[in-house]
Amino acid sequence: MVNTNWAFAQYEQVRKRLPPAPPGGTAKRVADLGALVDDFDVILLDAYGVLNVGDTPVPGAPGRVKALQRAGNRVMVLTNGASFPAVHALAKYHRLGYDFTIDNVIASRDMLLAHLAGQAPLRFGAMAHKASALDELGGDVHLLDDNRAGYDRAEGFLLIGTQEWSEARQDMLVESLRQNPRPVLVGNPDLVAPYEHGFTLQPGLYGHRLADETGIEPVFLGKPFAGMFAEAQRRIGHVPPARVLMVGDTLHTDILGAAAMGFKTLLATDHGMFKGVDVMEYIEKSGIWPDFIAPSI
């Protein structure tokens, strides 16, 4: 059963590939971001579990974002979303009632594009949705389906979306890699994501699984890895890290990665990974301590 305990256990099993946890030990509980508006210049928000659950906005979140923007805070989104171009994500946020601009949205797809731009072109097979605008990625990219030949002719693999993935396709990918090791890029390092009906499995889960089964270490592009947080720092300029707050619903991605960058962190508990559970149990088990805890933003 895919629930909080299961997802937490999966993240703990892959800790060897994640950034180390900085020292911690206390987490201050606050009502919401209104209590911190004067303490930070930049607010970085995760999407799933913070701004939205699936295609539904988190109650009160659009109004809170507007209030932060009116107060002069720069509010940005950092999302492990690789299936679609950032303009698609921006359009979704607008539909949900958020007034972001494209320069304030950083998706893991952006990290994937930047990585590909610096590499020699390969013939990639992609774990992706058929509407994922693969042509934007450049080069020769084909969808992986139920035909084993597509796996074997690929020179590398992109894991960016699980909407059409299956265990049978995962088995073909693993077997093809065992027979012929090739590079694997994971454009969404999340293991799970919260939707209205529960958690969905994400590309990061399959990337870690194939690493364990083949010995091939993928390149993970997105939270909690440093590239996305470095891009956020680049965009915000000379704001000191201590004046930047990352808000997320997941200890092992949002909180861990931001803390490693020197940003302050807030764990939102009521709409994502830790909905309905005692979050302190998981904080103490993992040793990943947010600076603040709030039910929502």
Q: What's the CATH code of the domain at 147? A: 3.40.50.1000
Which of 220, 254, 280 is the endpoint of a domain?
A: 220
How would you classify the pairing of strands 192-195 and 52-53? unpaired
Same domain, 117 and 211: yes
Distance CA 283, CA 278 (A): 9
Judge contact between 82 and 203, C-beta under 8 A: yes
This prediction has a pTM of: 0.96
Structural domain boundaries, residue 276: 26-107+229-294
Same domain, 138 and 210: yes
Same domain, 174 and 80: no
Judge contact between 271 and 297, C-beta under 8 A: no
Least confident residue range of 18-27, 172-181, 265-274, 277-286: 18-27
Same domain, 129 and 168: yes
pLDDT band at 139 (very low <50, low <70, confident <90, very high): confident
Strands (E) located in the chain: 28-29, 42-45, 52-53, 56-57, 74-79, 105-107, 123-127, 140-143, 156-159, 184-186, 192-195, 198-201, 219-220, 244-248, 264-268, 292-294
Angle at 22 between CA 112 and CA 270, to 5 degrees: 75
Same domain, 102 and 116: no
Share of the chain above pLDDT 70, in %: 100
**What's the pLDDT at 17?**
97
Same domain, 65 and 82: yes
**What's the pLDDT at 224?**
98
Which of 196, 220, 244 is the endpoint of a domain?
A: 220
Asked if residue 231 has pLDDT above 90, the reply is yes
Asked if residue 265 has pLDDT above 80, the reply is yes
Q: Which amino acid is at 108?
A: S
Which of 191, 220, 249 is the endpoint of a domain?
A: 220
Same domain, 118 and 253: no
Distance CA 291, CA 229 (A): 17
Same domain, 91 and 189: no
Token reading at 158: 């992109």
Name the domain count of the chain.
Answer: 2
Same domain, 199 and 52: no
pLDDT band at 280 (very low <50, low <70, confident <90, very high): very high
Q: What is the pLDDT of residues 49-90, one digit of tens each?
A: 999 998 999 999 999 999 999 999 999 999 998 998 888 889
Does the residue 51 lie in any domain? yes
Judge contact between 160 and 132, C-beta under 8 A: yes
